[in-house]
Amino acid sequence: MGAVENATDDTSEPPTALLDRAQQHATNVAAEHFPDLPVETIDWVVSHRAQRQARVTKYDPTTEAITIALTWTAYQQHGWEQFSSTVRHELIHAWQYHEFGDADHGATFTRWTDCLDTSQHCERFTTPKWWLVCKDCGGRIARYRRSKTVRNPEQYSCSKCGGSIHVEEGDGH
């Protein structure tokens, strides 16, 4: 596939080096798979605050600007080889925005995951402070902030089965 470059896996590099590396990787992948995607117009930023997602692609429908934000902590935790999959994941979303003005994990996304050696979801890279746990089905949802649901679980129900939920402390405290 040619998706992974022969660069070292040095997560001690500065954020600007990560951006350069991600942009070059995206340019190489897009040249092969999305030749009409103007990768050079994508804005790339590093987030030092995000806890739940390793990355996000944002789209401004007014200007058609696409921004890909990569999470520094996720990169440090996973290293380049695994994180490069994250870049390819977001490149699919950038292509979706460019082609359709919208992006999701539906059919147009999943048709690319195998050939780009990426997945629909990323691994957790920070430990949640709380877990919302369903008393009926045992479903668990990670929470990183003290949201309304964490403060008042009795006012909410499980999205899978409708059962009542309770809160358990995570190791992220």
CATH numbers and ranges of domains, the chain: 15-113 (3.30.2010), 130-169 (no CATH)
Tokens of 173: 């405290």
Strands (E), 39-172: 43-47, 55-60, 65-71, 130-134, 140-143, 165-169
d(C-alpha 75, C-alpha 12), whole Å = 10
Return per-residue pLDDT of the chain as tens, 173 residues: 333 333 344 555 678 888 999 999 999 999 999 999 999 999 998 886 655 555 578 899 999 999 998 888 878 888 888 889 989 999 999 999 999 999 998 999 999 999 999 877 665 556 678 888 999 998 888 777 788 988 999 999 888 899 999 998 887 55
Cα within 13 Å of Cα(128), Cβ side: 20
